[in-house]
Structure 1
C-alpha cells in the first residue's frame, strides 16, 4: 500500500513538473500599452515565416534577427487591435463566415473544401478564422484613421490625368523589393550618418551577390520586412512619389538607392516588370435591400427576412423594388427601389464587392453580411468601358489616393509606435 501511495505521489510530482515546464514555455515577452505579447505568439509567427521561406526556397537571417522582426510585426498588430477596441470595431461571426465564404469562392471552392485544404496544410480552421477576423479589423482601423489624413488637390488630379493621357492606355508596373534603413522621428546628425553608413553597407552586400530577401528580413524597418521586402506588383502611379521617380527608366534587376526620406534610407530592387496593358474600366449596376440588426432584430432574424424576400422575388410573388422601398434601411437607394446606379465595384465595402464579383447579371445573392448590415443584392448589369474623361479623372484620383494611403499608413503606424509604451522583456528572465 505504501509503495502504491509513493508511486501516486511520484506520478503527481512528475505531472506537476511537466505542467510547470509547459507553463514556463509561454510567458509575457512584450508589454504594449495595456496589452501583452506572449512568447507563444512570437514563436508561432517565426515558425510561419520559416515554413513560408522553406516553401519558397528563400534564405533566412539569424534567429535573433528573425525574432526582432517578428516582435515588431506583433507590436504593430497589437497597437492596431487595441485601437480597434477603443473605437468599438467588431467583426461578427456571420460577417466573418461570409468573408471566408467569399475567399473560398474566389479560389473556386466552397468553405468545406477550404477547411479540408487547411487541414492538409496543418492549419487549424479556428486559428484561420481568427486570423481573417484580425485582418478585417485591422483593415477597418486603418481605413478609419488614415483616410482622414489624405487631402488631394484638383491640381494633383489634373497633372496625373495629363500623364495618363501621354501614356495612353499603357501603364508600366513594377515588382519592387524594398529595404528601409530607418532612423528616429527626430534624428540627430549622428543618427542620419549611422543610417547612411548601414545603407551603404547593405548596397555593398547586395552588389556582391547577397540575397535581397534575407537582408530585408534581417535589417529592414519597412512594413514588408518579413516578406523579404517584397512590395508586390505596383503601378508606377500608385507607388510613393519618391519610388516612382527613382524607378522610371530603370530595368529589371537594377538596384536603386540609398534614397533618403523622412523615415530613413530606402533601397529598392526591381525584381520584375510587366508591361503594356490596356486600361479598361469595369462598372456594375446593382440594387440591394439592407437590413440592419439591432437589439430588437437579431442577426438570424435579419438574415431570415432577406432569405424570405429572395424566395418571394424568385417565385414571382413580390417585386424587388417594392420590397426595397418598404424595408431597406439604406436611405440613399431605398426610394429608387434599391438601385445603386452604375459604379466602380471598388467603391463598395469588401463583402459587397466580393459578392458582386461572383454574380452573373440578373442573379440574386444569398444574404451578405457587411459592416453595414445584411444585404440582398441583385446584379442588374455589368459593363467594361474605355476610359472617358470622367473615368480618367476617377482613375487618377484613385491612383493618388492609393499612393497617399500607403504613405500615410506608414506614417500613422510610425507615429502610433513612437508614442506607445513598449517594454521587451529579457529572454533570460
Structure 2
C-alpha cells in the first residue's frame, strides 16, 4: 500500500460522522432480542499480545466495512474473505496502538478538540450542535467520536515517528524533485489501486513461488475483466485492502520508487505487470490522473573557502606556492589537505569553510564572472584580503528551480511520503511478526 499518512488521517476524520451514524444503526440492531441473545455467546476471535478481539467487535467492524464498500459500489462476493481482511485490519490497528503506548506517544485534549472543530465546520455545525447530533444518533455518540479521533491521531503520530521521521531527504533529492516538476511543467497527481500479496520477511523459495503464483492468477483475472477493487478486498494483504485497494490521490513524486516505472506507460483504467518489492508482489491500477502548473530554473555554485593568514599581503605579487596549490587542486580532497598543510592557523578562522550552494547574486561581484566561467573541481587564483590570502574552490555546479521556502517544504514532504510509502507495508508486517498473534 502507498502511504500518504497526513491526508489519509484527515480523510478518515472527515468520515467520522458518517461512520458513527452507521454504528448507530448497528447499535439498534444489537438492541434487538436476537442480537442480545447472540451477545451472550460472545467469544474471543483473536489474541494480540495481551489484548483480545471479541466476536462482537469483529461483527461491528464487519457491518461498518460492508456499508462503506456499498457506498463505493463495491459488491461483496466473498463474506469469509472480507471477514478475514477486517480481522487483519483490527489486529494491525491494535498492534499500532500498543506500539504507540509502549514508546510513550500521547494525544492531548487540544489535538482532539481541534479535529472535532474541523469536523463541525465541514458539516456547517457548531461544536455544540455536533455534540448534540452525535448524542442523538447514538448513546454517548460524542464521546465515542472523541475516542475514535484519539485513536486515529495516536496511530498517525506513531507512523510519523516510526516511518516518516526515518525517511531522510538529501539536498540533491530536493533539487531533483523540483527539477522534474520544472521539466514536466506540471504537478501531476495520480490515483492508484493496489493489490499486495505479502511475503514473510525471510521467505523461503516455496513461499515466494506460492505468492508469485497467486499474483499471476490475480493478474489473469484482472485481464479477464474481473473488478480490481473486489479482488483487492478479497485477496490483498495491503493495509488499504478494505478500501478496494484505493491509495487515494498522490503526486507523481510520492509514488513508491518500485511502482514508478511500472505506471509510466499506463493509461487510466489499465493495470500494471506484477511488481516485486521486499514486502511482496504488487499489482497497480491507474484509476485516475490530473495535472496543474510549475517553476523557474537558476544556476547554483557549491563553494569552499580557505584563508591563509598573512600580515603582509602584496596584491600585485601572489606567492608562487599558493598559485601552485590552486592550479593543481581538482578535488574536494585536495581542498581538505589545506587544513593539514597549515595546521598553525586557528581553527575558528576556517571553521565555516563550506559556503554551501549559492547563486551568482550571493557571490561577491568582483569574482562573479570568474566563478561563472570556471568549471567544477577547480580553484580560483588566491585572492588578497585583509586577513591574508583566500582560496576559493568550486566543487560543483547545478541547475535548479528557483523554489520558495514553501515549495522546498512541499518537496521535502513529498519525498518523505514517497519513501514512507515504500517502507510502510514492510514495517506493518514486521510489527506483526514481532508480536504474539493467535487467531481463534
Give the TM interval when normalised to the shorter protein: 0.5 to 0.7
- Would the alpha carbon gap of residues 61 and 263 (structure 1) be closer, same or farther in structure 2, given more than 3 Å must change? farther
Output the CA distance in 2 between the equivalents of 1:119 and 1:213. Answer: 34
Output the CA distance in 2 between the equivalents of 1:209 and 1:108. Answer: 42
- Would the alpha carbon gap of residues 240 and 153 (structure 1) be closer, same or farther in structure 2, given more than 3 Å must change? same
- Would the alpha carbon gap of residues 133 and 191 (structure 1) be closer, same or farther in structure 2, given more than 3 Å must change? same
For 2:204, the equivalent position in structure 1 comes to 188
Output the CA distance in 1 between the equivalents of 2:432 and 2:97. Answer: 13
Selected match of 1:74 from 83, 86, 90: 90
Is the 1:279–1:387 contact (alpha carbons within 8 Å) kept by the matching residues of 2?
A: yes
Instruction: Tell me the SS of whatever aligns to 2:269.
Output: coil
**Structure 1 residues 77-112: Cα deviation after superposition (integer angstroms, max 9, x where no partner):** 111111222233333445423321122223433234
**Structure 1 residues 360-395: Cα deviation after superposition (integer angstroms, max 9, x where no partner):** xxxxxxxxxxxxxxxxxxxxxxxxxx9635544333
- Would the alpha carbon gap of residues 84 and 391 (structure 1) be closer, same or farther in structure 2, given more than 3 Å must change? closer
- Matched positions, count: 303
Selected match of 2:160 from 136, 143, 165: 143
Output the CA distance in 2 between the equivalents of 1:258 and 1:122. Answer: 45
Is the 2:44–2:54 contact (alpha carbons within 8 Å) kept by the matching residues of 1?
A: yes
Return the TM-score normalized by structure 2. 0.63
Q: CA deviation at 1:71?
A: 0.9
For 2:282, the equivalent position in structure 1 comes to 266
For 1:134, the equivalent position in structure 2 comes to 151
**Structure 1 residues 174-196: Cα deviation after superposition (integer angstroms, max 9, x where no partner):** 11110011121111222121111
Superposition CA RMSD, Å: 2.7
Mapping 1:13-412, distance limit 5 Å: 21-115=37-131, 118=134, 124-168=141-185, 170-277=186-293, 388=403, 390-412=405-427
Instruction: Tell me the SS of whatever aligns to 1:403.
Output: helix
- Would the alpha carbon gap of residues 28 and 204 (structure 1) be closer, same or farther in structure 2, given more than 3 Å must change? same
Q: CA deviation at 1:23?
A: 4.7
- Would the alpha carbon gap of residues 388 and 98 (structure 1) be closer, same or farther in structure 2, given more than 3 Å must change? closer
- Would the alpha carbon gap of residues 186 and 83 (structure 1) be closer, same or farther in structure 2, given more than 3 Å must change? same
**Structure 1 residues 256-299: Cα deviation after superposition (integer angstroms, max 9, x where no partner):** 1211111111101111111234689xxxxxxxxxxxxxxxxxxx
Is the 1:175–1:234 contact (alpha carbons within 8 Å) kept by the matching residues of 2?
A: yes
Q: CA deviation at 1:116?
A: 6.0
Output the CA distance in 1 between the equivalents of 2:189 and 2:78. Answer: 33
For 1:417, the equivalent position in structure 2 comes to 432
Q: Can you give the 5+ residue segments of structure 2 that lack an aligned partner in the other structure?
A: 1-32, 297-400
**Structure 1 residues 207-228: Cα deviation after superposition (integer angstroms, max 9, x where no partner):** 1221111110110011100000
Structure ranking higher on relative contact order (CA contacts 8 Å, 6+ apart):
2
Is the 2:182–2:294 contact (alpha carbons within 8 Å) kept by the matching residues of 1?
A: no
Output the CA distance in 2 between the equivalents of 1:114 and 1:20. Answer: 30
Return the TM-score normalized by structure 1. 0.65
Is the 1:61–1:217 contact (alpha carbons within 8 Å) kept by the matching residues of 2?
A: no
Output the CA distance in 2 between the equivalents of 1:82 and 1:203. Answer: 36
Q: Can you give the 5+ residue segments of structure 1 that lack an aligned partner in the other structure?
A: 1-16, 281-385
Instruction: Tell me the SS of whatever aligns to 1:237.
Output: helix
Q: CA deviation at 1:234?
A: 1.2
Q: CA deviation at 1:401?
A: 1.0
Is the 2:236–2:245 contact (alpha carbons within 8 Å) kept by the matching residues of 1?
A: yes
Larger radius of gyration, structure 1 or 2? 2
- Would the alpha carbon gap of residues 257 and 122 (structure 1) be closer, same or farther in structure 2, given more than 3 Å must change? farther
Output the CA distance in 1 between the equivalents of 2:235 and 2:39. Answer: 32
Output the CA distance in 2 between the equivalents of 1:279 and 1:228. Answer: 36
Instruction: Tell me the SS of whatever aligns to 1:209.
Output: coil
Is the 1:177–1:268 contact (alpha carbons within 8 Å) kept by the matching residues of 2?
A: yes
Output the CA distance in 1 between the equivalents of 2:124 and 2:402. Answer: 30
Output the CA distance in 1 between the equivalents of 2:125 and 2:230. Answer: 34
Q: CA deviation at 1:56?
A: 2.7
Q: CA deviation at 1:205?
A: 1.0
Output the CA distance in 2 between the equivalents of 1:120 and 1:216. Answer: 36
